[in-house]
């Protein structure tokens, strides 16, 4: 982060930049891991704050949820823009959203990236079918949009869910600046462009650093549909480049 923050500042991106980190990469799995991860996450937040960037704590498998939410709540005391991720497929998430909604006010809302969830979990702790996950995701969208103390960040490439978010936001009286969509770089750029052109706030999630490639491939592999979207986008981009090169030649 000490390297990323200055570069974001130099590029003039800090007003819109969000840095996402996994707590497991900050020591959460070690002995006294929660204390270690909090200390390191605080350093990341402090570095981001020097250039005006925001930090969001990624969510991992279900046993890390309490630690991630606890660390997020602690960090928001000094860094109010720190975000958390919640996964719709986990059965506990609706309760977690309700708790967060009661804990924060409109003046200082908690930033929540809401995803469907990519970790393979047991049926005891997670919904397994697509229909169940989609229904849970919609219920979560309703909760997020109606809670003044939460800022929804919908992390999905599912146009049906994004369109549902538009309807829910309108019903809740949210402006386009009071919530946002978040999509992976290279996956459904058509959706990104369409919603941005319509005036929605759209954030593109870009892997960064030496290990960006294996990370990106893991994200694609987690959901085969994402890989299909990416390959179609890549094919379309290559065709466009070929056409442009031919016209120039």
Residues with catalytic roles: 58, 113
Q: How many CA atoms lie within 13 A of 195 on its CB side?
A: 28
Q: How far is CA 65 from CA 55, 59, 97, 115, 132, in A?
A: 17, 7, 12, 14, 20
What is the C-alpha radius of gyration for the chain, rounded to an integer number of angstroms? 18
How far is residue 146's CA from residue 168's CA, in Å, rounded to a whole number?
A: 8
Per-residue buried b or exposed e for 157-185, using 16+ beta carbons within 10 Å of the residue's own CB: bbeebbebbbebbeebebeeebbbbbbbe
Q: Please, are residues 139 and 96 in contact by the beta-carbon 8 Å criterion?
A: no
Helix (H/G/I), strand (E/B), else coil: 156: coil
DSSP tag of 101: H
Q: Please, are residues 140 and 86 in contact by the beta-carbon 8 Å criterion?
A: yes
**Quick one: CA torsion of 185, 186, 187, 190, rounded to 10 degrees?**
100
Q: How far is CA 97 from the centre of its chain?
A: 15
């Amino acid at each position: 982060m000490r390297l990323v923050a200055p570069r974001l500042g130099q590029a003039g991106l800090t007003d819109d930049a969000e840095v996402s980190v996994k707590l497991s990469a900050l020591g959460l799995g070690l002995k006294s891991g929660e204390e270690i991860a909090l200390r390191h996450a605080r350093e990341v937040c402090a570095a981001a704050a020097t250039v005006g960037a925001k930090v969001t704590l990624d969510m991992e498998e279900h046993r890390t949820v309490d630690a991630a939410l606890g660390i997020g709540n602690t960090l928001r005391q000094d860094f109010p823009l720190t975000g958390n991720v919640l996964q719709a497929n986990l059965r506990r998430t609706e309760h977690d959203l309700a708790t967060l909604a009661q804990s924060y006010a409109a003046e200082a809302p908690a930033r929540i990236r809401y995803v469907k969830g990519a970790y393979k979990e047991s049926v005891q702790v997670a919904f397994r079918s697509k229909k169940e996950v989609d229904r849970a995701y919609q219920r979560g969208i309703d909760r997020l949009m109606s809670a003044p103390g939460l800022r929804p960040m919908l992390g999905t490439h599912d146009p049906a869910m994004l369109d549902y978010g538009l309807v829910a936001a309108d019903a809740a009286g949210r402006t386009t600046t009071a919530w946002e969509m978040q999509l992976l770089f290279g996956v459904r750029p058509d959706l990104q462009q369409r919603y941005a052109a319509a005036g929605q706030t759209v954030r593109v999630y870009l892997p960064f650093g030496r290990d960006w490639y294996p990370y990106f491939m893991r994200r694609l592999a987690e959901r085969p549909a994402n890989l299909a979207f990416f390959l179609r986008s890549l094919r379309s981009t290559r065709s466009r480049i070929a056409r442009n090169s031919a016209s120039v030649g």
